[in-house]
Amino acid sequence: MSLTHLDAAGRPAMVDVSGKQATARAALAQARLRFPADVAEALRGQGMRSAKGPVVDTAIVAGTLAVKRTHELIPFCHPLPIDGCRFTIDWADARTLCIDCQVRTTHRTGVEMEALTGVSVAALTVYDMCKALTHAIAIGPVKLLGKRGGKRDVGEVG
């Protein structure tokens, strides 16, 4: 097993994907935010609005922008055409907000980093919009649920 972002001399390098075939690729990532019970109840009672505005809608917009700009944030990510980006944000239980991001492209490399970046920024946006209520918001885990396309499929993409 070896790291793909190192050249023969062990120096950092972007992976050359020019020899790969462009295929349909998809990835699904998830982030969870855990709120104190009273804050979660208050947010639900306010229709997920804070003093800064609609929490869920703003998180979706921020996450989508992050997906499209992942290559500007993560040094060895390739700029990719994003064919689709969908967020699902809902309560997993009384205190845990679950954010899913599914990203699709047809390209020579996958979109796992885009999906992970999207849910991370969406989660940070929720935190930012709700921190006036409490700083006791825990973010995590952030994880890849699945990817399709490329050398191997992993998990479920949906």
Residue-level pLDDT at 1: 64
| Cα–Cα dist 103/19, whole Å | 23
Question: Is pLDDT at 12 greater than 90 in this prediction?
Answer: no
For residues 117-141, one letter each, b for 16 or more C-beta atoms within 10 angstroms of the residue's C-beta and e for the rest, the string is: bbbbbbbbbbbbbbeebeeebebee
Q: Which of 38, 90, 128, 153 is catalytic?
A: 128
- Beta-carbon neighbour count of residue 71 at 10 Å? 15
Phi, psi (rounded to 5 degrees) for 99: -115, 125
Q: How confident is the model over 107-152, as pLDDT tens digits?
A: 999 999 999 999 999 999 999 999 999 999 999 999 999 999 988 8
Pick the CATH number of 23-149 from 1.10.10.10, 2.40.400.10, 3.10.129.10, 3.30.70.640: 3.30.70.640
| Cα–Cα dist 136/97, whole Å | 14
Q: How confident is the model over 32-69, as pLDDT tens digits?
A: 999 999 999 999 999 999 889 999 999 999 999 999 99
Residue 18 confidence class, pLDDT cut points 50, 70, 90: confident
Domain boundaries of the chain, sorted by first residue: 23-149
Residue-level pLDDT at 3: 67
146 versus 2: the higher-pLDDT residue is 146
Confirm whether 57 is a catalytic residue.
no
Query: What are the tokens at 69?
Result: 């700009």
Residue 158 confidence class, pLDDT cut points 50, 70, 90: confident
